[in-house]
Amino acid sequence: MLYSSTIGTGQDLVLLHGWGFNADLFNDLIETYKNQYRITKIDLPGHGRSDNVAGGIEQWCDEIIKILPSNPILLGWSLGGLLAIHIASKIQISKLILVASTPRFIANDEWRFGIDKNNFQAFSATLQLNLSKGLKRFVSLQTKDKTKIKTLNASIESYPANTSALNQGLNILLETNLTSQFLALNVDRKVILGKKDTLVPATISSWYQQQHIDTTILDAGHLPFLHKDFSL
């Protein structure tokens, strides 16, 4: 079973977090918007308070779909964005918001808007040596707000992801290419990127804009929803 929690009033907004973290990453965002939206946060399979789900992106998304409200706005950050794209290709949603995310994370000769596979594997391997410490350091590089850092660090410590889920998530990030599914979506789409992001380069904004997608670039790293100018 996947963990979820819902609060607020208004149109349904569902938040999907990224690799290694848990849904409490969005707590400040929820406080800001809970009077405008009915917000559901979900811990991804094997992350936080959720049970493992065997398989890959298909099985993960099937489990997430089971607990989604009808026709929600779906916001996905990082790995969560990849899952959100796949979910949007399977069920009806009202809007897709990608935050520091992309339909394809790994670069190759055909796709220059990603990260080198070897560099990504080295980054993830370093994190997994001490996940809690690695994620805390990662967060500290994304914001200088000490209160936010302290809160996020507490959630990382309290609800760690397990090794099996981390490996599944990495495989999804490394192997998944949803560019064709993303381009085929017939839904309102919005993208928010970080200018200093080293995992999802801001240069992908040109590709998004070619698809006539509302794209915003904030002066932030891979956690642009922590930036003071972040807006849904």
C-alpha–C-alpha distance, residues 1 and 165, integer Å: 14
Residue 78 annotated among the catalytic residues of the structure? yes
Alpha carbon distances (Å) from 187 to 40, 73, 88: 20, 10, 8
* Single-letter amino acid, residue 166: L
C-alpha–C-alpha distance, residues 51 and 162, integer Å: 10
Which one of 4, 50, 78, 101 is the catalytic residue? 78
Which one of 17, 86, 222, 227 is the catalytic residue? 222
> Which residues, listed in sequence order, are joined to residue 75 by a DSSP beta bridge?
15, 97
Residue 86 annotated among the catalytic residues of the structure? no
> Which residues, listed in sequence order, are joined to residue 217 by a DSSP beta bridge?
193
Non-local (6+) Cβ contacts of 212 within 8 A are none
Catalytic residues: 78, 197, 222
